[in-house]
Structure 1
Amino acid sequence: MSILDLSFSEAGEGPPLVILHGLFGNKRNWGAISKVLSKTYRVLSVDLRNHGESPWDEEMTYPAMAGDIAGLIEKQIGGPARVIGHSMGGKASMILALEQPDLVEKLVVADIPPAPRDSGLMAYVTAMQELDVAGMTRRSEAEEALAPAIPERMIRTFLAQNLAPAEGGGLTWKINLDVIEKAMPNIEGFPDIDSDHAFEKPSLHLTGANSTHVLPRHHAEIERLFPNSEIEAIPDAGHWLHAEQPALFLEAVESFLS
């Protein structure tokens, strides 16, 4: 398993805090949140492998992602960090905490359980792959072309954030769609973890009250693997709870981390 040198942006001074995005996301998605948190913390917002400005690799498993994050923490921080992970980044952060607890001081997991889940996101991958982005010049063209497959405007705008100008004209995806397509069973899954590897330090598991990602049946598994955990729902929020209710999300996170 190769350890990749991840791209990240940094802001603020203070105790180190690492932020990990979800599938199809990148470090820029967390700009508003990291700006607030950087008043108290040294915030490192990270691009996970096959996303953003980080390297691409054929392996797309949670142990591989956790290995990348561990390498970044060891290289850039040199000791334990507070970690926030959303969705796919939340699963990667949980594996990091379970496998290398000495690198995680406190853990915040946003709207994802330590369990497999059929996400339905392969439809997004297919829709993105089928676009002729090389013939486009603006993200808005891609958003419009995605509309028949993805009616939700917010999701189309989010996905189009992964487009960038290509050398020689047109646009190109800054996300490794072919590897993500092959790795979707890994991304939707979660490794089997023995109770002996439970993360004993504090963890906060935030859910969107309107989201179906974390259900009451998942609470026992969260408590088994994270015995020192709090589970809290953000009202009037779905899966993208940090974007839908940023003030409430920040209030919960800042209260827990301090």
Structure 2
Amino acid sequence: MLLNVIERGPDTQDANPDLPPVVLLHGMFGRARNLGFVQRRLATTRRTLALDLRNHGESPHGPASYPTMADDVRETLAYYNASPAMLLGHSMGGKTAMMLALTHPELVHSLLVADIAPAEGGFTRMDIPTGLENLEFPATLDRAGADALLHPLIPNEAVRQLMIQNMRLGDNPGWEIGLKEIMDGLPAIMGWPDFPEGTVYNGPTLFIRGEISPYIQPKNYPAMRALFPHYTLETISGAGHWVHVDAPKRFAELVEDFAKL
């Protein structure tokens, strides 16, 4: 599946041909522009591509699993002649990036995974407000109306705004994302497949975890070391799962330092 891409790069005179392109992969219910502030900073010196993963943003819909999502990224990178690339993925996007690195290491120059481990976790059905699938939309809807419509289901302001970006507003409103496909694929998205013994990605790998997030724990370190033997781990103090939102300056600094490798 060919994915929707937002591409940014430097003016020709500022481009460094020795730097690999950077590919940014968002988390569940996100979209390509969610990592836009990092993309803009990196794009001053190199080519960058932010992708809408399947069922998200403006990309097509279809059954969701990490093998299929990683294959979407592979196909898209081939179409854009953008590999080997540095992959940067948050949450579900991080698992997708890890999957591609492990199955097609030749396409991945380096790997940065934001707040997710190669293990089960990262999202649960309990995190998703009940009733989203059966939400009844009015004949027309603006942003204020969407906020009011979701408020009973999603009291948290930040999560509510995240979900509003996945709505089609105006006349004939509804979900723009493949909500049914996401829900059907949730067990696979929450999970993580087993790999044959000896499967590794030997390239540079950085995990960034939020200090108060539960998704990278010491119990995950053996699997991280087995699959990504050259990984390093950075913790951002005071940040939760949305590390790039909670601490954008520190997150961007870590990304830019890693991108120099």
User: Structure 2-normalised TM-score?
Assistant: 0.91
Aligned position for 2:191: 189
Q: Give deviations 1:25-48, integer Å, cap 9, x for gaps.
A: 101212222111111221100000
Superposition RMSD on alpha carbons, in Å? Answer: 1.6
Q: Give deviations 1:132-172, integer Å, cap 9, x for gaps.
A: 23434113322223223322110110111111236xx1322
CA contact (8 A) 1:5 1:68 kept: yes
Between the aligned partners of 2:169 and 2:134, the Cα distance in structure 1 is 18
Between the aligned partners of 1:78 and 1:37, the Cα distance in structure 2 is 15
Equivalent pairs counted in the alignment come to 252
- Tell me if 1:37 matches 2:57: no
Instruction: Give me the identity figure in percent.
Output: 38
Aligned position for 1:255: 257
Any idea what SS the aligned residue of 2:147 has? helix
Q: CA deviation at 1:194?
A: 2.5
Q: CA deviation at 1:122?
A: 5.3
CA contact (8 A) 2:140 2:169 kept: no
CA contact (8 A) 1:127 1:146 kept: no
Q: Give the counterpart of 1:246 among 236, 239, 248.
A: 248
User: Structure 1-normalised TM-score?
Assistant: 0.92
Q: CA deviation at 1:173?
A: 1.2
Between the aligned partners of 1:22 and 1:195, the Cα distance in structure 2 is 28
CA contact (8 A) 1:195 1:225 kept: no
- Aligned pairs for 1:1-258 within 5 A: 4-13=1-10, 14=15, 15-57=20-62, 59-117=63-121, 119-121=123-125, 124=128, 126-165=130-169, 169-258=171-260
Between the aligned partners of 2:127 and 2:231, the Cα distance in structure 1 is 33
- Higher mean C-alpha displacement, 239-248 vs 115-124: 115-124
- Greater share of residues in helix: 1
Between the aligned partners of 1:78 and 1:42, the Cα distance in structure 2 is 9
CA contact (8 A) 2:21 2:83 kept: no
Give ranges in structure 2 of 5+ residues lacking alignment.
none
Any idea what SS the aligned residue of 1:219 has? helix
Q: CA deviation at 1:20?
A: 0.3
- Higher mean C-alpha displacement, 130-139 vs 73-82: 130-139
Any idea what SS the aligned residue of 1:129 has? coil
